[in-house]
Amino acid sequence: MLDEQTEAGRVALIGAGPGDPELLTLKARRLLHEADVVIYDRLVSSEILELARREAIVIEVGKIPDGPSWKQDDINALMVQHAGGGAHVARLKSGDPAVFGRLDEEMDALDNAGIAFEIIPGITSAAAAAASIKVSWTRRGRNKSFRLMTGHDVDGFAEHDWRGLAQAGAAAAIYMGVRAARFVQGRLMIHGADPDTPITAIENASRSDQKIVATTLGGLPDALAGAGITGPAILFLGLAPREALDVADRIDTTHIPTAEAL
């Protein structure tokens, strides 16, 4: 007699990367292809969803800033419902699931329901954005740390260590920062940041409709409005596109070892 017990369901919490399907990991692709149910965020690109099996149930759980949204509890319940029924669920999240992705709430819900899960890291949008403008997050002689910041949190525009961020050489990626741009500008300037500090906005990084706006802290809100940046974008504080730098800036001669040091 056949064992009637259903196979245990499970969830893969998958980083879908910034949009370009070639930036998906092989593991993400395999799990997506094996999934019975695919639950995805609004920013996951359609080329990636095409990698799901034809028979898979594919559900969007979009969260539109200031628009109609799925509630996090309902997303959690959906995963629990399908995996609890024995399905292999691929939960696709944009970029890396551990970066501003409410990953902990989803892990807690799965743990509470006794459902096994694994996490597949993805390329976070700030990594793709840095590649698009050919800069490093960290560079010898410029910055020893790099921050991932959000423009918003549950209370509205997010507060940060503005004094530290206003220092020369500070570098950061601001997620969800477009609407907070004027606020960020004001906070940094009050704390003494140089208005000429470079800021680069990269909208739709890695996608065919990518847009790059290179500006300065002083010109930030006007530059974003002028370029019509409305989609998902990373704002880099303290980083200018490589081609905007002159050669002396690009070659960090202070750290090239001298003959005696070799």
Q: How far is the CB of 214 from ligand SAH (least distance, A)?
A: 15
Which of 36, 41, 93, 96 is catalytic? The answer is: 41
C-alpha to C-alpha distances, 178 to 4, 63, 96, nearest whole angstrom = 53, 16, 20
- Based on the number of CB atoms within 10 Å of its own CB, is 179 exposed (0-12), middle (13-18) or buried (19 or more)? middle
**Residue 100 backbone class (left: φ over 0; alpha: ψ -120 to 50; beta: rest):** left
Residue 150 in tokens: 């959000």
Q: Where are the alpha helices (DSSP H) in the chain?
A: 26-34, 46-49, 72-84, 103-112, 125-132, 162-165, 181-190, 220-227, 247-250
Give the residue with the Cβ less far from ligand SAH, 83 or 99. 99
63 classed as catalytic: yes
Which of 20, 27, 63, 194 is catalytic? The answer is: 63
Give the residue with the Cβ less far from ligand SAH, 163 or 207. 207
The answer to whether 13 touches 104, Cβ cutoff 8 Å, is: no
Question: Which residues of this protein are in contact with ligand SAH, per CB under 6 A?
Answer: 18-19, 43, 93-96, 99-101, 124-125, 129, 175-176, 202, 204-207, 232-234
Q: How far is the CB of 7 from ligand SAH (least distance, A)?
A: 30
41 classed as catalytic: yes
Residue facing ligand SAH at closest CB distance: 95
Q: How far is the CB of 150 from ligand SAH (least distance, A)?
A: 7
Q: How far is the CB of 75 from ligand SAH (least distance, A)?
A: 14
Give me the active site residues, please: 41, 63
